[in-house]
Amino acid sequence: HRASLCKARSGYQMLNPISERIAARIEGALGPRGLVEGEAVAPHAPYGVPASQALHMARPSSTAEVAHVLRICAEERIGVVPLGGATGFVGGTRAPQGTLLLSMARMNTIRAIEPANGCIEVEAGCLLANAQAAAMDASMSLSLSFGAEGSAQIGGALATNAGGFRALRFGSARDICLGIEAVTSDGAIWNGLRKVRKDNTGYDLKHLLIGSEGTLAVICAAVLRLDPKPVQRICAVVALQSEGVTIGLLRQLQGAGAVVSAFELFGEGGLALALEDGSAMAPVNVDAAAHALIEIDADAGSRSLLEATLAKALESGIISDAVVAQSEAQRARFWQLREATTDGIGRAGWIASADVSVPLGELAAYLSDIREGLKQEAGAARFIAYGHAGDGNLHLNLLPAKGETPEQAPVGLDARFYRLCYSQAMRRSGSFSAEHGIGRTKMSALAHYLDPVELALMKSVKHALDPLGIMNPGVIID
Ligand code: 2HG
Ligand code: ZN
């Protein structure tokens, strides 16, 4: 009975499935609203979770309740899968049969907003978009921003160290996190809700939990840094002479003094894909070799600075066209184009989707090596490279030929594509997993590409913080 549910893991004790007795214990700890069972789990679960096989979902309403649940799970050897908005790309919340989904959705309070201290304290289940709005209301800015911010939760964003559109200027989730409150795998509450920028009190354990994808502990609340609200954000879409000029243009803008906060590339075919569903118009010539969306955080003189720099780039031929948004509505439309590229990839269905980063100076050579490598491999499959070029993070997608489905792709093409994208990124001192994490889908790549000493250290950390192996079993390290 037991063996068919959770697999034994080397070095870890066997996990048990949730029995009726254990479910009753969890319900006893959380009250009747706190446990959802069987078919009732799905409606409570955001998209992505239906692929889960778990039949039990705990919905705690406080950190104390999370601790209580974790103590029960440790005693009973139950696998726990912490669940935020389930907007990830690597299956990190796909709960195996017999495990407990731990939804943080009820813990969505904004506990405090403190403009004088430049921070906000939020519970893990608070939507990123709600925290951003609260910061705006206080005339401040929460600098983390990505496509799924309307459904992603703060806890998940921290647990996955989400990156997104403004990492170029403000870093990823870990860079705006000042403190956390977490529950350990044996159910102890750690209050690390500090509110300061400088804090060198020994090992930085908060950074160990950030990006650990729920495999070490459960993040229940956090203090996030707030930045001054930019006076204005000025957005432009430009047509590039080639993918190869991307970083040169970024450096020209920065060199002229522009505070570039977002620099998104639409590689060859990327903008056309965004426009495919016919719902938007191209602001610039769609047939250009590549395009970029640029945003600068601006004061009064910034618009003319941007325009002058783009005019120079036009003269030198680096770009062939540029449109600077004249209104907030137009700026929003430019950003919709960016999101529409991701939607277009979803519509086409993908054969393979890599999330890599390379040092900025290597980006052009990296892309041309990938294109060269694909010439022999890809056949009619379409290659779309796009994303956060300004911080070196590209999303490389291999889409089926028009009118085909991913299933019709040549056998093994996905594996060959990943090998090409990953080995070239590693060769250039980059990363094969830039912002989406490891989850369940990138584990073999981790075992293959990571330095063996680094992997061994990761295993020791996992073992030290989760000796029973109950935290998100089967994610990152098996
Ligand atoms: C984005 O930047 C997301 O839109 C998804 O990270 C990227 O894999 C993708 O297409
Ligand atoms: Zn992205």
**pLDDT-based confidence at 42, cuts 50/70/90?**
confident
Q: Tens digits of per-residue pLDDT, 449-477? A: 999 999 999 999 999 999 999 999 999 99
Q: In the chain, where are the structural domains located?
A: 20-103, 110-228, 230-346, 349-436
pLDDT > 70? residue 8: no
Q: How remote is the CA of residue 198 from the centroid of ligand 1, in Å?
A: 32
Q: Tens digits of per-residue pLDDT, 181-229? A: 999 999 999 999 999 999 999 999 999 999 999 999 999 999 999 999 9
**pLDDT-based confidence at 376, cuts 50/70/90?**
confident
Q: How remote is the CA of residue 239 from the centroid of ligand 2, in Å?
A: 21
**pLDDT-based confidence at 478, cuts 50/70/90?**
confident
Class of the CATH domain delimited by 110-228: alpha beta
Atom of ligand 1 nearest to the CA of 165: 2
Whether CATH 3.30.70.20 fits 349-436: no
Q: How remote is the CA of residue 395 from the centroid of ligand 2, in Å?
A: 7
**pLDDT-based confidence at 1, cuts 50/70/90?**
very low
Lowest mean pLDDT segment, chosen from 39-43, 152-156, 412-416, 461-465: 39-43
Residue of 151, 149, 157 whose CA lies nearest to 211 = 157
Residue of 123, 119, 128, 85 whose CA lies nearest to 103 = 85
* Ligand 1 pocket at CB < 6 A: 89, 147, 342, 345, 353, 355, 387, 395, 397
pLDDT > 60? residue 10: no
Residue nearest to atom 5 of ligand 1 (CA): 342
Residues facing 233 on adjacent strands: 297
* C-alpha–C-alpha distance, residues 132 and 280, integer Å: 27
* C-alpha–C-alpha distance, residues 447 and 211, integer Å: 17
Tokens of residue 426, six digits: 């590693």
* Range 108-118 average pLDDT: 98
Mutation probe of ligand 1 site: the residue of 168, 395, 435, 441 with most atoms within 8 A of C-beta: 395
Residue nearest to atom 9 of ligand 1 (CA): 395
- Asked if the ipTM is above 0.95, the reply is yes
Lowest mean pLDDT segment, chosen from 149-163, 264-278, 297-311, 445-459: 297-311
Lowest mean pLDDT segment, chosen from 59-73, 174-188, 316-330, 365-379: 365-379
Percentage of residues of the chain with pLDDT beyond 70 = 96
Residue nearest to atom 2 of ligand 1 (CA): 387
pLDDT > 60? residue 305: yes
Mean pLDDT of the chain: 94
Whether CATH 1.10.760.10 fits 20-103: no
Question: How much is the CA Rg of the chain, to the nearest whole Å?
Answer: 23
**pLDDT-based confidence at 7, cuts 50/70/90?**
very low
Residue pair 378/413 in contact (Cβ under 8 Å)? The answer is yes
Residue nearest to atom 8 of ligand 1 (CA): 395
* Range 168-173 average pLDDT: 98
**pLDDT-based confidence at 300, cuts 50/70/90?**
confident
Q: How many angstroms separate the first and last alpha carbons of the chain?
A: 22
Q: How remote is the CA of residue 195 from the centroid of ligand 2, in Å?
A: 28
Question: Same fold for the domain at 110-228 and the one at 349-436?
Answer: no
Q: How remote is the CA of residue 471 from the centroid of ligand 2, in Å?
A: 26
Q: What is the pTM of this model?
A: 0.95
* C-alpha–C-alpha distance, residues 314 and 316, integer Å: 5
Class of the CATH domain delimited by 230-346: alpha beta
* Range 247-275 average pLDDT: 97
Burial class (CB within 10 angstroms; exposed 0-12, middle 13-18, buried 19+) of 317: exposed
- 194 φ, ψ (degrees, to nearest 5): -85, 160
Q: How remote is the CA of residue 141 from the centroid of ligand 1, in Å?
A: 23
